[in-house]
Structure 1
């Protein structure tokens, strides 16, 4: 693609690292003006320094006031949101009988409530326009149950329900709503999970890493750029009939 997104304003939550950073760089590389949000200004500035036309906006997706104010500030500075990527999330596992309400609510507040709040606020400036893209970064856990992570699985299934409901609400308007469902991606989250699995099970770090790589059907971690490429496709020419979909990026059938 060449300048297919020239001048369009993209807002990417959780843009300080991993998938969010890769998506932000990919969108900016195609001409978009990108706002990256997250809680840590330093991480956001690193993303901004890595690509053109990327701007930092501190936002806590679990805090409604923060989401409302940060989105309004981004719109005031860079215009209506054309592309919203709801990427901010937590990946934590726990057996349900060991899960307290605080753990459950922490996951839901980031993964599901955060998607709801940030999409809602971006829609305030996107509605009524002839073109718009909303992309939620779910997970293979949004497609099937993930062992030892029932709360996480529920949060990611909820994101798919949100996207599918919105796709019906806005049929024929030029706005589309889709979800990306990657397997294990080579990000800092996976690095932390290796440490957690090793500590919990007594596995070596190599054995713990294999638990995740072997879960991807092609036997390797997904590169963040592969997820970003799927996001670009959903924003590119000919994507208008792709709506309400959960797109698997896991090396094979999930």
Structure 2
């Protein structure tokens, strides 16, 4: 029987490409995100069996619902890819409590709840792979992204601690840390920069591309390949892999 993967944030960007890649690799893939139409389109691109689970993972009971539905349909989740995320940009003095909470809820608390729910089944099976999509913002401080950076630093810290706790159980826990990726989230950053600075969208996009030494945006496929590497590498755990064209060397 094909192994089971659950991918959050699977409606677009990195999550969508990762879900399709895992399906092509022979996984049964449960896809979850808020937008059912985008999920259905992503599932239609997967060659193998899929389960579409539209839900807001920050809602009460949502994580339990997603796991229970997957288990009822197929069984224990063996691979968990935490691809859901959101980003905002504001000077620190203008970050509202609501914006701060939203960044932590989506980028840190919901992933934690997913990990907490996934681990017992993986431990019972003696095998599991957890990969969180973090960011180079988990490893450095950039201006105007205080809330996002705090959440992603927390996500990487969680990955490292859980990996240490589960070492020797057959479960690995890693993060991938992309730079600016050619996704709708980056397009939102482009729009914000253009609105704030008066630059054209093309100028703003070139500005972000230039933050990678390779001089271009990272592709979602490159990040998905790093996710696959983490899944396929039993000796790699507790790591934050940079996929940023050399911007952060560690």
Aligned to 2:43: 48
Matched position secondary structure for 2:192: helix
Corresponding position of 2:78:
82
What do the CA deviations read for 1:30-69 (whole angstroms, capped 9, x no partner)?
1000001011111100011001222211121212311111
1:93 to 2:54 alignment: no
The equivalent residue for 1:10 is 5
Q: Aligned partners of 1:64, 1:129: CA distance in 2, in Å? A: 27
Answer yes or no: is the 8 Å Cα contact 1:24–1:54 preserved in 2.
Answer: no
Runs (4+) off by over 3 Å: none
**1:33 equivalent in structure 2:** 28
* Match status 1:249 vs 2:227: no
d(CA) in 2 for partners of 1:82 and 1:64? 24
CA positional deviation for 1:121: 1.7
CA distance in 1, matches of 2:223, 2:95: 30
For residue 120 of structure 1, what is the aligned residue in structure 2?
A: 116
* Whole-Å separation in 1 of the counterparts to 2:83 and 2:159: 13
5+ residue gaps, structure 2: none
Distance 2:142 2:115 in 1: 25
1:63 aligns with 2:89: no
In structure 1, the gaps of 5 or more residues are 1-5
| 2:126–2:169 contact (8 Å) kept in structure 1 | yes
Aligned partners of 1:100, 1:230: CA distance in 2, in Å?
34
- Superposition RMSD in Å: 1.1
CA displacement, residues 102-140 of structure 1 (integer Å, 9 cap, x when unaligned): 110011110001111122222232222221100000001
User: Structure 2-normalised TM-score?
Assistant: 0.96
2:101 equivalent among 82, 98, 105 = 105
